[in-house]
Structure 1
């Protein structure tokens, strides 16, 4: 009996030690590596981690409106992850880690997938989106969905506004733009409302909110991640990628979601040749700037002349040189960057309007159940709900324009060829002629150069302007350049360590 009492006392003491250790875990700004260390040393459980983020969402979301819906099964999933870990069956670096998904990424669970629109509320998807399925296989906990700009801002709403979620707000300066249709994911990552998040990018929708919210965003090469099960704008440009607080976290998430998907076979099959054996985490190198040729597109920096922001960028270029990069300065894709972007925008608009109708009708046709069955039905729904959908403020001119298209005809094909030509004779030619590993541009200002060619880009926090609004720096390259971009982005991040969490109080 004395032995049993001793054993019981030891068990209680062990529980007290574990409880005390769990209490000491630093949830704020926790990285995936820190989370996994906490799991291994017993100072953290997935259940405690999920509860911490749920508490943070409860505190902050009434003001920030970054989260559109919380998964009622998240704690159950966390408990299952804890049980699997207890049996010695973790499945990787994301095992038991809570992940937030943009609300245009389908999940076959209790969560809705609506792209922010009330028209899709209650719809039932046939299966998880390809990236969501991969996250589950990696052991991640699907925590919630983020508030997107409705229809990924194809409908011309304010950045971060949707009828379902309201207006997402920038946690650094509440009156500032949260930016891009993945604004909710960017804000949630910045404000520690999830461990890691996923967004989608047509033209800047990952890069821009990452820049404006002092987080890291990766726009992967087109097809590196599946778009199956995503409420898409255009398969010509759409890609799914991570938005996280560190380069390392973003790369871990990228490793989990890349790969071939039979439901997006053409794109993922073509891009699979770019995936390196062993994945991307191997390129997290502190000396990653050494020997790299960095092209500075000066035309994109001119609008910041005389500002604190430009002075910071110049310091960062000096840091890159200090760490062994060869900075090739004063490069231009064209003599007139503004004219180039206008040319891209006009042709992009022609192609995307037609592609959106095809994409949304295909998505709706694959649903098990939906209140609407076509783009025409969505337009009717909005007209029937003018207050909820704020028709007076935003209208739906682009939705109507898309409805009036009839597929990819001669005009659209000309526009698509023009975009390919602009990319081939612009960014691609420049990088090959100067043998560049990367181009560097301010924030997401050059996102169109990347998007129209299906090229990758990584935003890393770079500084704060005079008002305290964050801004990032973009490392961009050609298709398949992720390894060298990750090396440089990680080395830059480690050399500068610019990111600071928002300090506001709700």
Structure 2
């Protein structure tokens, strides 16, 4: 792989030595010691050496100074140490690369507004996490968690298995105890899938609740950032700090009217009398997934929820039209972001990125190509785009989630988030169990929470809670109530199938 700049060289050469941690079973996700030194030691022992999780691509050289300043701040987030996905800008010397060598020098010197809000609450930014390159939109044959900048992120529950994407490093990093929490981004599944497959809570808020300014974009219709944590409480804590209007992001115009104290909204969280719609056709036909989901349903019912089986199948036109929307918006939105970068980057349009990848194919296209990028560059029909957006939004929102909730008098929808982690395959790409309902809230722009519901052969599986627009507090409260009622044992990340591998 191409030699990395100093801030991205193997962290064992830059940080505290933590060799004693390497090769041992990891602590449970609720780490007792949350000190900056402990996180740095774990990164040194687990990230680029030992099991080579490749979850962290850069460490903030100012983290120590920031932690000292945060210690004197009030509030529940003061001193909490987090990682941030490497498509979100953070002020300082760390570049924002989206995993691409084309942006290896993209040091903007500015915080994304959501990062500024977190800093104001006392959060310490430890570093940047690896991701599926360009947030998994470059190729339809990609291996989740791989980028030319960071290599292949590994799942700490079984390191020959996928961490899912695109917020792969954020999920694997928190699961492995490299930080208290992380921020990911999602266009369709990129917070909830890696959270579920790494045994975490992941929350995709209503699009427009959290600013997207200074985040490398795919789609203004569907992009959002969200927290990835070890509990619903911690996700609510981070969301409370992150949420709010941003004049530079039109989608957030009403965010200040909708946001609330999401931690306070968890008080007395209960499922008693809450009607939940079961998206049975999103469960799939794997017997182990069905058995685990049925146990979760029993827990929900025991906690007082009223369960309603739904005979609902996704209209394939939604996915077809979503693809048109993402391709059209990628070309325009990414081009606008690149054109506005303050530094001396060499790519200013999607076409420039495509050309860069061809020129640097040995490093950039070692495992898979850029068919999605090439399709997006050709997707220029504004009328076809507008029709596709209107139809996909209708199918997911008004005639999808909203109609199901209204006609059945439901509070929320539930389904497995997905199946267990699949083996990493950089020859044919991702091939996990095709189940879950994440595309519905992704296309609609509605809130989606995943909470661990147990494990299959030691691999985590999550349970999804889906609501309507701006119903973020209700979704989080239901997840917290389930979290308290869950009876299935959770997996512990143990690096239990680590083996020497040529995957980099």
Please say whether Structure 1 and Structure 2 have the same fold, judged by a TM-score greater than 0.5: yes
Confirm or deny: 8 A CA contact 1:221 1:271 kept in the other structure: no
**Structure 1 position 482 matched with structure 2 position 464:** no
Give the equivalent residue in structure 2 for 1:333.
Answer: 312
**Structure 1 position 413 matched with structure 2 position 391:** no
| Deviation readout 1:22-65 (Å, 9 max, x if unpaired) | xxxxx955769x78xxxxxxxxxxxx811110111111112111
CA distance change for structure 1 residues 236 and 92 in 2, over 3 Å: closer, same or farther?
Answer: same
Where do 1:190-339 residues align within 5 Å? 190-264=175-249, 266-276=250-260, 279-285=261-267, 287-304=269-286, 307-328=287-308, 330-334=309-313, 337=314
Unaligned runs of 5+ in 2: 1-25, 419-435, 499-504
Give the equivalent residue in structure 2 for 1:45.
Answer: none
Give the TM-score normalised by structure 2.
0.85
SS class of match (2:199) = coil
SS class of match (2:125) = strand
C-alpha separation between the residues in 2 aligned to 1:108 and 1:322? 48
Confirm or deny: 8 A CA contact 2:27 2:493 kept in the other structure: no
Equivalent of residue 70 in structure 1, options 59, 63, 76? 59
Give the equivalent residue in structure 1 for 2:428.
Answer: none
CA distance change for structure 1 residues 422 and 129 in 2, over 3 Å: closer, same or farther?
Answer: same
Give the equivalent residue in structure 2 for 1:21.
Answer: none
More helix by share: 1
> Displaced runs of 4+ in structure 1, greater than 4 A?
27-32
CA distance change for structure 1 residues 504 and 392 in 2, over 3 Å: closer, same or farther?
Answer: closer
| Deviation readout 1:315-342 (Å, 9 max, x if unpaired) | 21111111111111x20334xx3xx2x3
C-alpha separation between the residues in 1 aligned to 2:269 and 2:107? 47
C-alpha separation between the residues in 1 aligned to 2:116 and 2:470? 23
Where do 1:39-58 residues align within 5 Å? 49-58=35-44
Deviation at 1:308, TM superposition (A): 2.4
Give the equivalent residue in structure 2 for 1:160.
Answer: 145
**Structure 1 position 361 matched with structure 2 position 335:** yes
Give the equivalent residue in structure 2 for 1:383.
Answer: 358
Q: How large is the RMSD of aligned CA atoms in angstroms?
A: 1.9
C-alpha separation between the residues in 1 aligned to 2:98 and 2:120? 24
C-alpha separation between the residues in 2 aligned to 1:404 and 1:295? 40
Confirm or deny: 8 A CA contact 1:286 1:490 kept in the other structure: no
Equivalent of residue 458 in structure 1, options 427, 433, 449? 449
SS class of match (2:361) = coil
Give the equivalent residue in structure 1 for 2:482.
Answer: 492
In the alignment of these two chains, the number of paired residues is 447
C-alpha separation between the residues in 1 aligned to 2:406 and 2:216? 34
C-alpha separation between the residues in 2 aligned to 1:493 and 1:204? 21
C-alpha separation between the residues in 2 aligned to 1:116 and 1:273? 35
SS class of match (2:451) = strand
| Deviation readout 1:209-265 (Å, 9 max, x if unpaired) | 11111100000001010100100100100111000111111111111100011111x
Higher Cα radius of gyration: 1
Give the TM-score normalised by structure 1.
0.85
| Deviation readout 1:120-140 (Å, 9 max, x if unpaired) | 011132621111111111111
SS class of match (1:64) = coil
C-alpha separation between the residues in 2 aligned to 1:31 and 1:441? 25
Unaligned runs of 5+ in 1: 1-26, 36-47
SS class of match (1:348) = helix
Deviation at 1:285, TM superposition (A): 3.8
C-alpha separation between the residues in 1 aligned to 2:42 and 2:30? 16
SS class of match (1:252) = helix
Higher mean C-alpha displacement, 392-401 vs 478-487: 392-401
SS class of match (1:303) = coil
